[in-house]
Structure 1
Amino acid sequence: MSDSNEETAEFIQLLTESQRMLFQYIHSLIPHRNDADEVLQETNLVLWREYHQFQQGTNFRAWACTVALNQVRAFTSKRRAKRPFFDTDTMMLISERQQKKSAYFESRLDALERCVKKLPQRKRMFVEKRYRIGFTIETIAKEMGSSVDAAYKMLRRIRDDLHTCVDRTLSQEGLGK
């Protein structure tokens, strides 16, 4: 596979993984879901057309949000006569807050993934089965040979441990609340 194909594949993966975040970001700026969907599609087209401008190793989500914000501005300026939208200052304020919130949640998610990897294998498998595979607590309890109540208690302890680990990790990195 050539570098170009690898870069394209990586770009597609980044774009795909960012769809939910991009939609939420756009929807925070444009209150109507159908309009937000339309802007997301336009954003995706621009991102695809301009993907060669994205520098590997930089923050894809920040770049994508910048493109999305430009698409929101273009959309609202075309549609302003049909529907009231936020003025530019309000839109910029919402955009800044949303990007900070997104960065905060992204750092929490990264910390959570690292904390899950630190769990003992049995607890890590419990988390994998429950949250990645989607098994019910009842199914997991049966597999473990324990009661449903014991499985719920174990899950609660694991979640508490993960919460503490995430907070400690972010605090050590200077990214706490």
Structure 2
Amino acid sequence: MTTPKHFDNSQLEAAIQRTRDGDTDAFVSVVRQFEVPLRAWLAGHAPPGIDVDEIAQRTFVAAYTRLDDYQADTRFDAWLFAIARYQLKTELTRLRRLADYHARYAPDLLQRELQKRGAEPPELFATRLDHLQTCVDSLADHLRRFVTWRYDEEIPLEEMAARSGRSVAAVKKQLWQIRQKLQQCIEARMTTAEGGAT
């Protein structure tokens, strides 16, 4: 957790001051110097499932917006890593709350949804499938590729991450967002169809 040797403290402090003076490009050089050690530290402290790149990005954004709080000629690395610890702690708290919510409510919600779907007439189920295909076809190419990989080719998440150049956590998040998008699309089309039938 130290300033990289090839970037001495006077250069660092000068870049921080230029950033404070309005030169946003100066902060890019600060990020470049610390992004590798910061990501390495996060990778060593974050549990599986945490998107280290996302936390690192949030840390740098927070540092940039709070740069006036940093006291010049002190330990910038310690200050930056303290922000990273806070960002990681915040994310862990969010995930724990989310897991607790799902543990409490997901089984009940799933059961209700299954009961609702089970009571649907077969033709309505077929209509839903038709709408699903239309909604999948309407996705942008890069999103439809994820659907194909996961559900048609049944490619593991790790391989999807390697193919797309993302972390496994980022791929999971992308799939969740796609499922949400498809669900909204299907519901919208079902509502439109019901409106047209009345």
**TM exceeds 0.5?**
no
Per the normalisation by structure 1, the TM-score is 0.42
Q: Indicate the structure (1 or 2) with the bigger Cα radius of gyration.
A: 2
TM-score (norm 2): 0.38
